Every structure is written in C-alpha cells, then in structure tokens.
Amino acid sequence: MAQGHITPFLALAGLLSSRHPNLAVTLVNTPYNIQTLTKSRAGAAIPSSIRLRSLPFSPEEHGLPPTADNTAELPFFQIVTLFEASKSLRSAFEQIISDISEQDGRPPRYIVSDIFLTWTIDTARRFGSFHSIFVTGSAYGTVVFSSMWKHLPHRRADCGDLFPLPDFPDVLIHRSQIPKHQLLADDASPWTVFFREQISRFSETDALLINTVEEVERTGLQMMRQMLPCSIWPIGPLLSSVFPSISSGGGEQIIQWLDSQPPASVLYISFGSQNTITASQMMELATGLEASGVRFVWVIRPPVGSDVKSEFKAEWLPEKFEERMQEQGRSLLVHGWAPQMEILSHPATGAFLSHCGWNSVLESLNRGVPMLAWPLTADQFFNANMLEKELGVCVEVGRGNMENSMADRVAVERMVKEVMCGGEIGGEMRRRVEEVRELMKAAWMEGLGSSLRAKDRALVLSLAVAPLHSADAATLVPSALDQSTMRKHRTAVGFLVIRVVWRVSSSSYFVQQGGWALWRVLVLTAIPFSIPSCG
C-alpha cells in the first residue's frame, strides 16, 4: 500500500464527511497505514468524523518483511507478492462489514475499493452493497496500462520499437515506455496473472469513480467508456494534505529560501515518494541543470540499485556539485521529504520536473505549474504523453530508469532553458496550464461543476437501491436529483435492487449506511494497495 493511493481516498473521505455531515465515513486499512493516519489525526489533518479501522495483516506469513504492509518498505521485486497477499484481507474485511451491519441494523450501502482489490466486488454482493472502483490514476494512463497488461503486445514476433495498442490502434506505444518487469513478463508471470485477474473484473463494478476532470481528460474518458460498460464518474481533482506538512519539520527552510527568489524562477524537481533514477542519469541531470543556470529545488534520493533510505554519496553527482550550488545560493538539494504542495503553490516556482505520477500531475495542474516530464514506470509514460500531446502543458526531458535508459545533459539544459527562460514553448505551456487550472476549478463550482455533479449522481445512484424516501435523497444531494437523472438511472437502479450489488474500486473501500428517514452513515473503507506507478 502506498501514499500515492491513500491520499486521494483520504481526500474523498474528507469531501464526503464535510459536504454530507449526516453520513459517517469509515476508512479501513492495514495496521501500518492506520498508525500513520492516527498520527495525522493527532495533528488535526484528518477530521474526527472519519472513523479509522485496522485490518489484521501479517506480512511475514507471505514471506514479506514485518513492516511490508506498505510498498515504501519493499524492494520492487516483492511488490507483486504484496499484491497477492492483499487477497488474504478478505475475511477480515468481511468481518468488519458484518460488524457494521450488526451495529447499524443493516449492511453498508456503499463500498469503494482500490482498483486492484476487485475481490471486494464479491463482498459487496454478499452484503447487498453498492460497489465502486475508485481509480486514483488518470483515465488515459489507466486504459493504456490495462491494455498493455491484457495483451502484452510487445512480445509479438513482428513487433518493432513502435507499435499500436491492440484495443486502440490509433494509440502508438514505444518500447522505451515499457518498464523492465513488463518487458520480461510473459503470460505466466506473477505480474501478468495478477493484473489480468483484476482487469477482467473492472466491468463488474456498479460504477467507476476516477480522480480526473471531464473537461480535462475527454479522450481518456472516452476510451474508458468504450472499454467498460459500467457508469464512469470523473470526480477530480481530489487532493489531500493529510500527510506531513511544513509543520512536520524540514519544510520551513525550503519555503524561506523560495521566499527570497524571484517569481516563477525556480524549477522544482521530484521523482515521487518511491521512485529514483540511475547514477548515470543523476550525473547527466545535475550537469544539465548547472549548465542551464536556472534556480532549482531538487528532492534527491540515492540512485537505482541503492537503499533509498541510505546516506547520499557525493560521488553520485559531479565533483563538488552540491557545494557549488550552496555557495552560489541559487539552488537547494533536499535529501528526503519536501512539502510538495507548498512548493508548487509558491509564486517563486516556475515549473515542475516530475515523474508524472498522477497525484503529482494533479497537484501541478491545480497550481498552474507547467511540467517537464521524466516518467519512470507504469502509467507515468502514458500520463506524460497525454500531458504533452493532448493538453500541451508538458514536455518530456527524460524517460525511464533502466540500465539502457539514457539521459542527455544537453537536452536537459536546452529544455530547462526553454521552459524557464521565456522560450516560445514555455510560454505556450504556461498559457495552456492556466486554462487547465481554470477547468479544474470550474469542475467543483456549486451547481454547475462537472465533478461535483458526478459525485452527487454517483452517491444518489448508490443510495437509490435502498428503501429510502426520495425526500431524504433530495436533502442529501439535491443538485443530483433532477428528473432527467432519475429517469436515466431508474432501470439501472431496479436492476441493482434485484442483484443487491454495490460495486467499488481503485484504492479503498467506501461503505455507506443509512436509515429510512435520514442519510445517517457512510462508511468509507479504504484499503489502498498501490501499483508501483503512483506518486
């Protein structure tokens, strides 16, 4: 389980708790993550109205280290073992749902799960709950990622370096956009078996929630609706600040330094909470940055092949690089954690060199900050492609972190200057990212926003299978209860009543409970297991 999946679930829980106080929200997770969330609650980051429940989980029983209920504690090759181990949570989760049913006199109304916890569909059916998958990635990236694992098209004998995506032949994939574990995978690979098992069940969920915006990702959402028969509701951007902020220590120095820099003059560089680049790439990036003369804040970790928690070695950078940056006072190297949301919100920040994990993308777009892409794994390659080719808010400066993944100091210098120093491409990117920022703001505009209405309609649809009076639904989410919406969903609702199925997906569980006259309880059970791409 990773922060990259937990964060949007917490944002969803917080949103529902604040906008619908008559609903009770419960977040269910494994012990390590619940401990982290409990500490965050002590700092008032998580509302007290959100209930936290811990699922028993023993990593050692699955051949994993004792602290391995979070992907941050695992070497990459063991992540698929953790995915498989997630299936062992089923009985404990069903016991929690049973306890809730006994306590409240009826089963939860709504279960929302992670995209790779599709066994929760069976749990929802057993208890008569509505189910949704919550996709914490982009629509486009999720569709391409799923199609690639479903077909493994790069393994065909006639496949060159550039080939069409089987389900969407207009989409071209380059071999360099495929991470090593997928390049080596065949039909019997544990990765392939697990992902195909999950992908095959996507269509069984009642409704799919996705952390994106209708007006921003039209192409990706169109592809997703073509691929899946269920209702698809874009409810983003869902951003959360429940994890450590400046007050947690270490961030004050960075913000104080940014305060002393000119507007839009600083390039922020981060490859996410779980990703890093090779030593040779690190050398090329540092050399290109220094040659560009641009100010930067670089969140830097030991390279691929090293313990990311180990002490950083000067030999991984050009000789005396960090000392020169400190002496010149134009750049900061941060070893460890940095307050990303605060950095992206700062007026001195002019662009973001990112791995293009979807959370980071949403945070950057939401702050109107253009990006330089250096995707490293999974859907990050496809996010970067969509951001550059469709939205025009990004330019790719590097790709991958495998042994044969190259980085070019000259290209780094050129593209950094183009984006940061008034180049034509950079100017157009800034104009486009402001347009996207406004679209994202409008998505949550009261009464009109597409994400607000999608959230309300999904909530009404999930509750409509219960024997509740329509007046109660109108009290909860009146913006969703127009006649056209109810006419549209009447047949589907009847079908769901017969099947007593509530479907959920993505990174958590979301269980709603109610009464005859009041929308009393909404339990959001979240068990976010992360693919190694998110961040």
Range with top average pLDDT, 102-111, 243-252, 360-369: 360-369
The distance from CA 296 to its chain's CA centroid, rounded to whole angstroms, is 25
pLDDT greater than 90 at residue 21:
no
Check whether 236 has a pLDDT greater than 80: yes
- Token digits of residue 217: 């990702």
pLDDT given at position 135: 96
Could you tell me what percent of the chain has a pLDDT over 90? 58
Q: What angle do CA 9, 10, 16 make, to 5 degrees?
A: 90
Residue of 288, 282, 326 lying closest to 308 (CA atoms)? 282
Of 75-84, 120-129, 402-411, the one with minimum mean pLDDT is 402-411
pLDDT at 465: 52
Structure tokens that stand for 244 in this block = 């450590």
Alpha-carbon span 427 to 431, nearest angstrom: 6
pTM: 0.86
The pLDDT value recorded for residue 503 is: 31
Q: Please, where are the H alpha helices in 379-482?
A: 380-386, 409-420, 424-442, 450-463, 470-476
Query: What does each C-alpha distance from 309 to 57, 89, 275, 306, 313 come to in angstroms?
Result: 24, 29, 12, 8, 12
What lies within 8 Å, CB to CB, of 357 at 6+ separation is: 4, 272, 275, 380, 383, 533, 534, 535
Q: Give me the pLDDT at residue 367, please.
A: 97
Domains 3-136+188-236+446-523 and 246-442 share a fold: yes
For tokens 């090779």, name the residue.
278
Residue 520 above 50 pLDDT? no
26-35, 58-67, 352-361, range with greatest mean pLDDT: 352-361
Pairwise CA distance, residues 258 & 460, whole Å: 45
In this prediction, residue 511 has a pLDDT band, given cuts at 50, 70 and 90, of very low
Give the class (CATH, top level) of 246-442.
alpha beta
What is residue 45's predicted lDDT score, i.e. its pLDDT? Answer: 61
Strand partners, 231: 207
pLDDT in tens, 262-318: 999 999 999 988 889 999 999 999 999 999 999 999 999 999 988 777 889 999 999
Q: Element (H or E) spanning 211, and its range?
A: none
DSSP assignment letter at 338? -
Q: How many CB atoms lie within 10 A of CB 174?
A: 14
Question: What's the pLDDT score for residue 467?
Answer: 34
Higher pLDDT, 449 or 42: 449
CA–CA gap between residue 360 and residue 51 (Å, rounded): 27
In whole angstroms, give the CA distance from residue 387 to residue 433: 10
pLDDT surpasses 60 at 507 = no
Tens digits of residue pLDDT in 360-386: 999 999 999 999 999 999 999 999 999
Each residue of 436-468: pLDDT tens digit?
Answer: 999 999 999 988 899 999 988 877 777 665 433
The pLDDT value recorded for residue 47 is 73
List the domain boundaries for the chain: 3-136+188-236+446-523, 246-442
Confidence category of residue 401, pLDDT binned at 50, 70, 90: confident
Residue bearing the bigger pLDDT, 487 or 275: 275
- Report the percentage of the chain scoring pLDDT > 70: 82
User: What class is the 3-136+188-236+446-523 domain?
Assistant: alpha beta
pLDDT at 164 over 90: yes
- pLDDT reported for residue 14: 85
Cβ(3)–Cβ(243) under 8 Å?
yes
Residue 4 pLDDT class (50, 70, 90 cuts):
confident
Give the β-pairing of 511-513 and 521-523: antiparallel
**Within 200-243, where are the H helices?**
218-227
